Amino acid sequence: MIIQLVGRENEGTAASFLKSFGTVVAIVWQPIVGGISDRAQTRWGRRRPFIVAGTLGDLLFLAGIALAGSYWWVVVFYFLLQFASNTAQAPYQGLLPDVVPETQRGEASGYYGVANLVGIAAGTVGAGLLVLLVPDRVRPVESQFQNVRELLRKTFGGPLRNRSFVWLMVSRLLIFMGFGGLQNYAFFYFDNVFFHHDRRATAIAASTLLGIAIGVAALVSWPASRLSDRTGRRPLIFAAGLCGAVGSLVLVFSHYQWLPDGVVGPLAAFLKVPELAAQATLTGLVIGVGLGVFFSVDWAFIQDVIPAREGGLYMGFSNIATAGAGIMAVAFGGPLLDLFNRGQPILGLPGGFPVVFGIFVVWFVVGSLSILKVPERRVVS
């Protein structure tokens, strides 16, 4: 839609502004509503009213985006969508530590990772209905906030004093920035590098790459989460970040063929795309491994680190890293993409893509190293 509404020359900047403006509300609102849900007392439980209301808002504002006839209406509805979505997300995420015993966190995190990945592909309507069946009987952690000052102090003060949690959020932010950047720029990459305004071919190639990544991620999520109960969380998150770095590095050098003709030839014929484009889609294999491992194991690690019975606050606060990653990836990468694409090619590609994908490599590597600062707080079986 961005390409259609603003044109190729400003695609990166427009995507950057859209994400930055709309997702700011996710950084501020999700920890606040998570903390409120920790203390809520209603006949339907402390989480479900927020989840249902937010999901209904998602449906309404997604329809608004679909019907938007201009870029600025997309911006408005995306902002509202973020508000509704994050109203549901923090309480929803808080349900996991509410109902899962500590000994089953790894396994439950694996199921959660698979569900997330399937949800990315299938949508959110089913999840909005299924949540009505989830038990919501945990008593509030304490009384409701008395004033705005107390709300802000407890929402943003407590998590920032938890050193292990802060390092985990730094790692999460950087690794999510890498994965989010790959997802956001996959369409632009295929459109600029291989297909030049051929929307159908671009959509097929970008969907193939992301589809491979999501499919592989779904396959490895549950086994990875079970493995983390034996090996610990840190080694797997470290490896997940490095997988993302390898996938990004391959795209930096995607002008060169690094797989034999017998591999890329049949795939190129099947997809009806150039061989180098087919080769690029196969990076979804290694990216998918990293994505699946990270999605499942990172979630279990957060539960190991956060205080008991404050899942809504801490899970909501963790969204500062999740949503902030989307903002920073496009806000930083979008203008650079447009700037270097106007210049000379680099490594045989439009200049913006090697630069931006190279930055993703750095984010993945530093994010992997950051997780080493978080101590394991559970006994590895």
Share the mean pLDDT of the chain.
Answer: 83
334, 16 in Cβ contact below 8 A? yes
Q: Per-residue pLDDT tens for 106-125?
A: 777 777 777 777 776 665 44
329, 177 in Cβ contact below 8 A? yes
Token pair 């087919």 in the structure block, residue:
278
Q: Per-residue pLDDT tens for 234-267?
A: 999 999 999 999 999 999 999 998 888 888 888 8
Cβ-based neighbours of 309, under 8 Å, separated by 6 or more? 38, 97, 98, 138, 141
Residue 379 lies in a domain: no
| Residue 309 belongs to domain spanning | 2-373
Residue 378 lies in a domain: no
Residue 259 lies in a domain: yes
Between 130 and 19, the higher pLDDT residue: 19
CA-wise closest residue to 171 among 26, 317, 377, 321: 321
362/154 Cα distance (integer angstroms): 34
Furthest C-alpha separation in the chain: 67
What CATH number does the domain containing 28 carry? Answer: 1.20.1250.20
Helix (H) or strand (E) holding 18: helix 11-39
349 backbone dihedrals φ, ψ, rounded to 5°: -120, 160
Say what the pLDDT of residue 124 is: 41
pLDDT winner (highest mean) among 7-21, 111-125, 139-153, 213-227: 213-227
**In the predicted model, what is the mean pLDDT of residues 307-336?**
77
DSSP state of 195: I
Residue 103 lies in a domain: yes
Domain count of the fold of the chain: 1
Give me Rg for the CA atoms of the chain.
21
Residue 213 lies in a domain: yes
218/233 Cα distance (integer angstroms): 18
Cβ-based neighbours of 350, under 8 Å, separated by 6 or more? 192, 193, 340, 341
Helix (H) or strand (E) holding 316: helix 311-341
Helix (H) or strand (E) holding 76: helix 71-99
Residue 141 lies in a domain: yes
The conformational region for residue 274 under phi > 0 = left, psi -120 to 50 = alpha, else beta, is beta
3-state secondary structure (DSSP) of residue 70: coil
Q: Which of 38-47, 58-67, 311-320 has the lowest mean pLDDT?
A: 311-320
Q: What is the pTM of this model?
A: 0.67
Q: Sorting pLDDT into bands at 50, 70 and 90, what band is 127?
A: very low
Residue 380 lies in a domain: no
Residue 46 lies in a domain: yes
